[in-house]
Amino acid sequence: MQSMRASALVPVIAMACCASVFAQTPPPARYPNKPIRIVVPFPPGSGADVTGRLVGLKLSEALDNTVVIDNRPGAGGNIGAELAAKAPPDGYTLLLGSASQAISASLYTDLQYSLARDFAPVSLAVSTPYLLVVHPSLPVTNVKELVALARSRPGQLTFGSAGNGTPPHMGAELLKLATRIDIVHVPYKGGIIALTDLMGGQLSLMFNDMLITLPYAKAGKVRALAIADTHRSASAPQVPTIAEGGVAGVVVNAWYGVLAPAGTPPAIVSRLHAEMARALQAPAVKADFTARGSEVIAGTPEQFAAHLKSELEKWARVVKASGARVE
């Protein structure tokens, strides 16, 4: 664990649990009066870790309180999520949730926690879109041409991912579902390993985090065909969306949000949300995230709840269609 105090925050959105559940744990007279722990269910240096530390710094400054980052990687983020779900609902243990947990809800058959049942969302922090990239030798320059090529070569194009059930894997499965193309999955033990093989010509294409991938696209080592978001990114305004390429509904984001254990008093959830929202709206914070290829989000708890519901439903549909399973 690493202790932090400082100055910078993350996007916002929160979800409230029912009052009867919240009432089970009355808020303390003064909150916070001891260190707050943010469980980051991924290893140090990951995109989640970088985001979690920035959020921790800003929250520490806003609350004038120590915030500790607790990295608990493993099982696609489920080890850390389960730990946070079972923590006391007192506002002193939070989870940096992500799209990985939304996918896991349908991918794993033996989860010991429920993203929908066991957490009270506090704030949707940031969203980083995925890029659809291909090896420069592939004779395509847009999504329409890629789909046409894949249909002319069924089972011949390969796509890499950071592993079975990861967002890059499910993103390509979503593309397959939307276009009915036949492309072959090649799982790796990390996204950067897969990206390296794509640059080396061992793969045809992949979806990958824009933050990591955009520099290689700018250097010409991969070709960016489209961004998997509802709108273009300020970090790469020249890259069209997949929808602009004629394929609707393929949205894949590396989003991160702060959640508290279900039953956390609403006064604490509201305090955390308000402080995060205020910090995330600061121009310097927005500029910092934009430079990283991420978008700061500010909204209501209800909007975050709707986002989680949408993500759970979308990935349940994709997991079922792909037949993917991780025991």
**How many Cα atoms sit within 13 Å of 174 on the Cβ side?**
29
Range list for CATH 3.40.190.10 in the chain: 129-245
| Superfamily the domain 2-128+253-322 falls into | Bordetella uptake gene, domain 1 (3.40.190.150)
Instruction: Check residue 246 and give its pLDDT.
Output: 95
Number of other CB atoms surrounding residue 230 within 10 Å:
12
pLDDT grade for 30, boundaries at 50, 70 and 90: confident
- 29 pLDDT band (50/70/90 cuts)? low
Q: How far apart are CA 241 and CA 248, in angstroms?
A: 9
- The mean predicted confidence, pLDDT, of the chain is 88
Greater confidence (25 vs 249) lies with 249
**Neighbouring residues of 283: CB distance < 8 A, sequence distance ≥ 6:** none
Third-level CATH fold of 129-245: D-Maltodextrin-Binding Protein; domain 2 (3.40.190)
| CATH 3.40.190.150 boundaries in the chain | 2-128+253-322
For residue range 113-133, what is the model confidence (pLDDT) as tens digits?
A: 999 999 999 999 899 899 999
Tens of pLDDT, residue by residue over 36-64, are: 999 999 888 887 888 899 889 989 999 99
Q: Which has the minimum average pLDDT: 25-34, 120-129, 180-189, 276-285?
A: 25-34
Q: Looking at the predicted structure, is the pLDDT value of residue 2 above 60? A: no
pLDDT at 20 over 50: no
